[in-house]
């Protein structure tokens, strides 16, 4: 990378980035970072009004184009519509972040319904598979791109309190490695495994969990702290990184 400055490695000027679950939490932080790095962004989630609100904020603060698209990633027809919408609008995708996820609560393992299990699998694995294969194939044809799958550290240390979610995310990890091989050498596919972050999801947590005392760094992560990993994997800074699963979790080694 001779002649390229460190800042230029992270530059996304002229790129188009699509982020599912992009209207809040970690996805919203990534959207903001990509736009600040020069990318036009597509913000997708189930609720269009939230996406539109985020898009207006991004455009006002960065001057980049931000497009809101309603998409339930658990439904393949919604995924296909998102792909078509983005390519009709921009003609390209340089970065795809499969960030949308869900981890519904249940009283015990035997009480998990087929509907809950299927919905959890659909949002966390089936939808990302569809988006990654459809957009990744087009990226290969266009000569390059980066796909980032947002998993969880829980995928490598399953808890009985989130087992269907952890199983789906473990599948997402394997999918990441498999697609990295399938789309090489032009398209890179990597995963981020976040730990406990202070987002709206943590509002349902116990005070003990929210304290972050179970984390070696003794606190929860802030959404802005996912940005470094996302920018690294989205940009030329990670040009020799594919099939990697990057933990961003404050050092967690076990479930509390």
Q: CB count, 10 Å around CB of 81?
A: 14
CA of 145: how far to CAs of 96, 112, 173, 178, 238, in Å? 8, 38, 19, 16, 11
Cβ-count burial of 240 within 10 angstroms (0-12 exposed, 13-18 middle, 19+ buried)? exposed
**Residue 54 to residue 151: CA distance in whole angstroms:** 23
Q: What is the pTM of this model?
A: 0.95
Looking at residue 197, its pLDDT comes to: 84
Q: Are strands 66-70 and 95-98 parallel, antiparallel or unpaired?
A: unpaired
Looking at residue 81, its pLDDT comes to: 98
Mean pLDDT by 10 residues, the chain (256 residues): 82 98 96 98 96 98 98 97 98 98 92 97 98 98 98 88 95 98 98 87 69 84 94 98 96 72
Q: Which of 87, 117, 165, 232 is catalytic?
A: 165
CATH homologous superfamily, domain 6-247: NAD(P)-binding Rossmann-like Domain (3.40.50.720)
146 in Cβ contact with 188 (< 8 Å):
yes
**Residues paired with residue 95 on neighbouring β-strands, in sequence order:** 17, 146
87 in Cβ contact with 141 (< 8 Å):
no
19 in Cβ contact with 44 (< 8 Å):
yes
Q: Please, which residues have CB within 8 angstroms of residue 105's CB and are 6 or more apart in sequence? A: 161, 204
Looking at residue 214, its pLDDT comes to: 82
Looking at residue 220, its pLDDT comes to: 87
Which strands make up the sheet holding 187-194, listed edge to edge?
Answer: 66-70, 40-45, 16-20, 95-98, 145-150, 187-194, 245-248
197 in Cβ contact with 150 (< 8 Å):
no
**Residue 93 to residue 83: CA distance in whole angstroms:** 9
| 165 catalytic residue (yes or no) | yes
């Amino acid at each position: 990378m001779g002649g390229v400055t460190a800042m230029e490695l992270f530059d996304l000027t002229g790129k188009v980035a699509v982020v599912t679950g992009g209207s809040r939490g970690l996805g919203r932080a990534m959207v903001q970072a990509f736009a600040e790095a020069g990318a036009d962004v597509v913000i997708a989630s189930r609720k269009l009004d939230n996406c539109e609100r985020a898009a207006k904020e991004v455009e006002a603060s960065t001057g980049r184009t931000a497009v809101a698209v309603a998409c339930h990633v658990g439904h393949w027809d919604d995924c296909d519509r998102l792909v078509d919408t983005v390519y009709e609008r921009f003609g390209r995708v340089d970065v795809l972040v499969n960030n949308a996820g869900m981890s519904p609560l249940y009283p015990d393992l035997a009480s998990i319904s087929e509907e809950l299990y299927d919905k959890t699998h659909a949002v966390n694995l089936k939808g990302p598979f569809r988006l990654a294969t459809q957009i990744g194939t087009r990226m290969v044809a266009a000569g390059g791109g980066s796909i980032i799958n947002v998993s969880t550290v829980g995928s490598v240390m399953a808890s009985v309190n989130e087992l269907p979610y952890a199983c789906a995310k473990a599948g997402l990890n394997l999918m990441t490695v498999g697609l990295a091989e399938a789309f090489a050498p032009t398209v890179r596919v990597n995963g981020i495994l976040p730990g406990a972050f202070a987002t709206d999801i943590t509002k349902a947590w116990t005070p003990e969990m929210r304290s972050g005392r179970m984390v070696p760094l003794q606190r929860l992560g802030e959404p802005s702290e996912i940005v470094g990993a996302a920018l690294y994997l989205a940009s030329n800074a990670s040009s020799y990184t594919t099939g990697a699963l990057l933990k961003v979790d404050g050092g967690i080694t076990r479930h509390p």
